[in-house]
Amino acid sequence: QVQLVESGGGLVQPGGSLRLSCKASGSISRINHMNWYRQAPGKERELVADINWNDGDSFYTDVAKGRFTISRDNAKNIMYLQMNSLKPEDTAVYYCRGSIATTGIPYDYWGQGTQVTVSS
């Protein structure tokens, strides 16, 4: 079984920065992709960014472009999301998702989420 654990959330003022982490552990054979999602109160969960674990190629949705940076440490199985110029509208629970194989076909795993609150 695979476990994903997010950390790094908290309260930050508008214009500030946070760095989220997601640690993958367990019987991991291969990580294909890992992603960051977020869900704000009363809204649907939305994709923020994606990273290919093999080559580090990244993808960002419109809310993240120019402000957020996704990265990974593949030796430690950790994914990061550096968030700069944070706005109140970024307030949400941020979730880690991984396409990860243990034996055979990969499976989608989710973390428990970490709360990000942007407020003065």
Q: What 3-state class would DSSP assign to 88? A: helix
Mean model confidence pLDDT for the chain:
96
Tens digit of each residue's pLDDT (9 = 90 or more) over 16-34: 999 999 999 999 999 999 9
Tens digit of each residue's pLDDT (9 = 90 or more) over 27-74: 999 999 999 999 999 999 999 999 999 999 999 999 988 999 999 999
Instruction: State residue 88 phi and psi, 5-degree precision.
Output: -55, -30
